[in-house]
Structure 1
């Protein structure tokens, strides 16, 4: 029996050595979680045996338990490198349609040839669908996840429908309404400003807005005429509403004046506005305010100053950057000024993380003892926050492992000595005559 006890001690010491060696080998493995060999004594007896004199039957390895403590963060220059500070896991699938998920803490992600976010083995990072404008997720059920794709273009161009313009018109200017307006003659207007707009094909055009002061006798309200010229079609300016200001230089409302460029006029090739085959589905309107309606034109004794000028059209854009926030929301920015939320990185947690089954490549699968995977949003509850441009390092403490290695070696030697003593005693018994 003593032979078996010593042999069990050797096996346990060997398991401890193997576990420690594996921890040391993975000290630089991203997302690796150290393991700890846990042992239990072996004790067996019959109901008629005396428990007071029974000696144990050795030792057995109860479990090699992984320790899911937080690893330190290593910061990188890759925005697709992700680290979790919390208890969550990333969810991965081997192909686009699969729901066979593995779970990992290793966030060294990159784009594959089809612009999907994948890990080093080509597994697809899973995410929740979100509203492209607000980033609000539509579901946190793992059955609704899908691989996250980063499109390299912003999609179809969007034709301009509204121009927002707010400015200060100089009250000291002299009236210029004595002669017909001519966009090519600076003497027939006081101020002008231009903005680039886009047609349905994404081609850019220049819309120039002109202002000229009309004759006003104080204390009556001051009025300014407005005109719009499309590109270089200076011979056909489109007139707009008059801008009226009170004696304090404030805009007189309602209503807010506009200049309308009718779609029918712009779309008619005979008018010379569009010559590339593009078509506007709606009128283009110049609104004399900002998009929120807060800023409106003024007429003060100050130089002409445009304080807001924007439009709602875009041309075709190309990907210029990807940002991922603490909630795991993926925001793509494009060269045309557009930005859109693409997805939200799915977070997963388990009731018993030590029950997860290791499958290699710093990944785990659920098991009976781990419990069902629970999906959720990063930076809420215990899922943890997502840190972009970061990697979670191994949680192995090299100093501790080296001390454990010495201890395991001594245990092995001690059990080897016990085995040797047992062999010597049995040899002595066999030599009795």
Structure 2
């Protein structure tokens, strides 16, 4: 039995090493969230057995949970680079016909050939409709639309009408996207849809700093920045990973020593068993 106890310790140490190694490997991944392995002891006894005379039976992995702490915000000066200072996520959706919704903290957005704002996976950034004052008029998944940046607009105040070219794009802290054209005319294109969850730790990882909803995470609540848990949006900045390399290296040393200690325990148990078998 003692062999299996130490074996469970080896497996736990290996899982810890793998988790830490993954954190270290993604230290430069934009908006990556580190994980932490949690362990629990294994204990079993018969109903009538005195538990004070029973040793434990090893350890098990209780779960590997993500740590959604804020990462460092780095300035890039690119308008479509967005960073969230808060607990919410950007909402993105793949192009039809799949139209799969996911959530990300990676705000490295750019324009595709059709001038849709897309993330690093090609999914389109979602926005909420706004009224004439820039206030969102919807907060459900059915209100979400793809953000598309126009290259020009038709000025019908002249005869004949003329097309005026885009001059600049602005995204404020609330996430309101405003297009300014060469004649100083402005059009509000929508408000970046931020999603907040009852339990972000319950989200399912997809890779590339993307997550999907689960029963554990609960359904998202959509809204604009500068409101409660949604936090604020910073244009011209990106969130780096929340991995502290020094902390991870210290944890890596501790996990390595734990692995070696369990391996030594197996070696000692093998030596004891061999001595007993070889008794004459």
TM over 0.5: same fold?
A: yes
Q: Structure 1 residue 200: deviation in Å? A: 2.4
Unaligned runs of 5+ in 2: none
**Alignment match, 1:300:** none
**Alignment match, 1:284:** none
Say if 1:103 and 1:365, in contact at 8 Å, map to a contact too: yes
Alignment of 1:244-283 (within 5 A): none
Cα distance in 1, alignment partners of residues 58 and 11 from structure 2? 10
Say if 1:84 and 1:387, in contact at 8 Å, map to a contact too: yes
Cα root mean square deviation, aligned:
1.2
**Alignment match, 1:409:** 256
Runs of 4+ with deviation above 3 angstroms = 96-99
The 1:200–1:98 alpha-carbon spacing in structure 2 relative to 1, beyond 3 Å, is farther
Q: Structure 1 residue 352: deviation in Å? A: 0.8
Cα distance in 1, alignment partners of residues 31 and 146 from structure 2? 21
Structure 1 range deviating more: 2-11 or 43-52: 43-52
SS at match of 2:276: helix
**Alignment match, 1:157:** 155
- 1:350-379: CA deviations, max 9, x gaps? 111111111111111111111111111211
Say if 2:111 and 2:117, in contact at 8 Å, map to a contact too: yes
**Alignment match, 2:75:** 75
Cα distance in 1, alignment partners of residues 98 and 181 from structure 2? 30
Cα distance in 2, alignment partners of residues 98 and 128 from structure 1? 20
From 147, 162, 166, the equivalent of 1:319 is 166
Whether 1:43 and 2:2 are equivalent positions in the alignment is no
Cα distance in 2, alignment partners of residues 17 and 140 from structure 1? 42
Say if 2:203 and 2:217, in contact at 8 Å, map to a contact too: yes
Say if 1:99 and 1:143, in contact at 8 Å, map to a contact too: no
**Alignment match, 1:167:** none
Q: Structure 1 residue 143: deviation in Å? A: 2.0
Cα distance in 1, alignment partners of residues 174 and 98 from structure 2? 25
SS at match of 1:316: strand
SS at match of 1:317: strand
Unaligned runs of 5+ in 1: 160-198, 203-314
From 389, 401, 419, the equivalent of 2:236 is 389
TM-score, structure 1 as length reference = 0.63
Cα distance in 1, alignment partners of residues 219 and 138 from structure 2? 18
Q: Structure 1 residue 55: deviation in Å? A: 0.5
TM-score, structure 2 as length reference = 0.97
The 1:96–1:134 alpha-carbon spacing in structure 2 relative to 1, beyond 3 Å, is farther
Say if 2:103 and 2:211, in contact at 8 Å, map to a contact too: yes
SS at match of 2:45: coil
- Structure (1 or 2) with the larger CA radius of gyration: 1
Say if 2:39 and 2:63, in contact at 8 Å, map to a contact too: yes
SS at match of 1:401: helix
Cα distance in 2, alignment partners of residues 55 and 336 from structure 1? 80
Q: Structure 1 residue 99: deviation in Å? A: 4.9
Cα distance in 2, alignment partners of residues 407 and 322 from structure 1? 49
Cα distance in 1, alignment partners of residues 49 and 159 from structure 2? 93
**Alignment match, 1:147:** 146
Whether 1:61 and 2:20 are equivalent positions in the alignment is no
- 1:256-279: CA deviations, max 9, x gaps? xxxxxxxxxxxxxxxxxxxxxxxx
Q: How many aligned residue pairs are there? A: 280
Q: Structure 1 residue 144: deviation in Å? A: 1.3
**Alignment match, 2:159:** 200
**Alignment match, 1:175:** none
- 1:211-241: CA deviations, max 9, x gaps? xxxxxxxxxxxxxxxxxxxxxxxxxxxxxxx
- 1:183-223: CA deviations, max 9, x gaps? xxxxxxxxxxxxxxxx3213xxxxxxxxxxxxxxxxxxxxx
